[in-house]
Chains A and B, each alone.
Chain A
Amino acid sequence: MRAEFPTDAALLVQNAELRARLAEVEETLQAIRTGAVDALIVETTAGPKVFRLEGLEAESSQFRGEILAQVSDAVITVDDGQRVTYLNAAAERQYGVTASDALGRQLSEIFQYRWLRPGDEAAAVTALRETGCWRGENVHVKRSGEVIYVESSVSRLHTGDSIRSGLLAVIRDNTERRKAEQERALLEAQLREAQKLEAIGTLAGGVAHDFNNILGTILINAELARQDASSNDQALVSLTEIEKAGHRARDLVQQILSFGRRQPTSRQLISIPSIVEESVRLLRTGLLGGTRVECHCAADTPFILGDSTQLTQLLLNLGANAAQAMEGRPGTIDIRVEGVTSDETSARPDLCLRPGRYARIVVSDTGHGMDAATQRRIFEPFFTTRPPGKGTGLGLCVVHGIVQVHGGAIVVHSEPGKGSKFEVYFPSASDSAAAPDAIEVAGQAAEGRGRHILYIDDDQTQLFASKRMLERWGYRVSAYFEQREALDAVLSGKLRADLLVTDFNMPGTSGLEIARAIRDALPDLPVIMVSGYVNDELRTQAAAAGVRELIAKPQDLEEFRDVVQNIFYPSAKTLSRDSP
């Protein structure tokens, strides 16, 4: 049998392959000699095994590398072409990448950065050029789209190695700290805003108090004059108009006071949807043609403790505000009521809201919207964007007062041209404090029949008018505008009174102090106190001081008459109210 010999061509191919293998081996050896190889892979019976080619220097370098790897801030180096040449474990975690994925990539593929202020970038470039380092804050946007606020310290790398030259950045994620700072700043701003509104409210309340006294005098005198001018039709018409205007002014004053004092007049268990339905009905009747009102009430809306009149007022004011923003153009006012839960973990619409269950009313419109400057001022009394004479500037400020009174919160979202949305949160009844009882004002009456009333008020015109009115009802009245003089007279026995009526807010001795003195010395002498604003605190104090009745000023004459009569005849029916 003849042996098979390879052909010349086959030998040439084999030769070429062997030369290539040899070249490869030589290349590998050269790479090992020059230190370009980190490890050798050797085939063993148990499979391939990796042998690292690392000496003492490498160990030392590895130790330093470990230190850098364990730094809690992200450390990244980039070459002059902005390619990532190193990143530690913290950087891998911070940007959600692995070293093998990030190395060699453009830094912009790992995150995008934004400057916080115009001019920051130029300042950083200048600092790096002139001093070789820059430290500052900016924003990084990760691949995932997540935004983080960072503080970076960037310096030039000088290693004499083309790969290792470039920039070194140590980056600290400040997002959580910044968020906490922003939250604190927001709380401080809310506190400042609340203090400002409180101050304005106090000022407005003070003015309203004086105004109230003047109004009381006007109304009482108008009533007296109307009774005297019963035969003069022209004068009666004028006096009726004076009374109407006086009542309008009194309502306005009550609005200012309800903003300034922030106490509910009564609190009951309230279903907001039922109030919304009533309010929407009222609102619709006053709307211009093109505006529609849509109302959605969720079944899970919790009950709240509140004053139904004030809540109706709140809805009407918000609705009127929305309608004004529409300016008669076609559009929709959307009113939604639902139950929401605020907890520690969820984003709270208002930082003042404690965790708990809330009833939320959302009133949104498709009107002209508001810019940020307007939004900051909308709850200030008398602030209005409407032309003079078109708005009092009290609507939203009253809303704010009502919300505060009910322990709730109000949040506004608006942009010019995109409408406005007011979100009002009221704590559910189960989360509210126990409701104080409302004052029950009874209305049993009797005529004066010569009974003696001691009347104390520092406002002489008010005092004079009240005296005249009471005398007309058949009482004898001793009027004092000096509290001490009145007290001396009654306590010494010089003056024997059947009833004492005193104003609450007076310089020097207050109505409460007078009541206490009477309670201690003459417990059988009933006391009625009159105040410009009746709140729960005053009710409690008045009850403790022995005050039998507390009346809001300016007094409604019929109510005042009933209260006085009720002191003398507690169980009697109203007696001949219309008789002279």
Chain B
Amino acid sequence: MRKQPSAARALADFAAAAANLDTVCYVLRLYVTGTTRNSERAIVNIRKICEEHLRGRYDLAIVDISQQPTLAEGEQIIAAPTLIKKLPLPLRRFIGDMSQTERILLGLDLRKATDRVAT
């Protein structure tokens, strides 16, 4: 049997991985500081994004570090609100009130750059 060229193999792997994106489960952590303005907005916005684009295949945990800052240890959190996409890899971080939906969708690999709506 003839061996498949490496470039073709990589392309096939990528296609398979892309197909899996529709079923893969997302593990997300949103670090907030109590019920401050941006933290509240970040919770509302990320939950809306998850429900619209990841319904049934996400695990979103809201972590309030205002009472226990040690909860941020080990995650290299430098600002709040911060969203961390722990899975699927690669790990990604988003800072702010999560109102930039397009940028977050792109960062979560839920939208290709070419899908952007021209404005």
Residues of chain A touching chain B, judged by Cβ–Cβ distance below 8 Å, are 24, 27-28, 31-32, 34-42, 47-50, 52, 54, 58, 61, 65, 79, 81, 83-86, 99-101, 103-106, 163
Contact = CB atoms under 8 A, between A and B. Distances in A.
Given A47-B70, A50-B66, A99-B40, A40 B79 contact: yes
B81 A37 contact: yes
A39 B80 contact: yes
A35 B39 CA distance: 12
Contacts of B99: 36, 163
Nearest to B81: A38
A24 B33 contact: no
A81 to B, nearest CB: 7
Nearest to B96: A36
Interface of B: 32-33, 35-41, 43-48, 51, 62, 64-66, 69-70, 72-73, 77-81, 93, 95-97, 99
Given A50-B33, A103-B47, A85 B69 contact: no
B78 A41 contact: yes
A310 B40 CA distance: 71
A83 B95 contact: no
B33 A48 contact: no
A100 B95 contact: no
Contact of A48 (B62, B70, B95, B96): B70
B83 to A, nearest CB: 12
Contacts of B32: 38, 100
Contact of B47 (A38, A39, A65, A83): A83
A109 to B, nearest CB: 10
Given A41-B69, A49-B69, A100-B62, A28 B35 contact: no
B30 to A, nearest CB: 9
A50 B67 CA distance: 9
Contact of B44 (A35, A41, A83): A83
Contacts of A52: 33, 36
Which 10 A-B pairs rank lowest in CB-CB distance, beginning with the nearest? A104-B47, A36-B96, A100-B62, A103-B43, A104-B44, A38-B36, A39-B33, A31-B96, A48-B69, A31-B95
A28 B40 contact: no
Contact of A39 (B41, B79, B93, B96): B79
B47 A37 contact: no
A31 B79 contact: yes
5 contacts: A28-B79, A37-B38, A40-B80, A103-B40, A163-B45
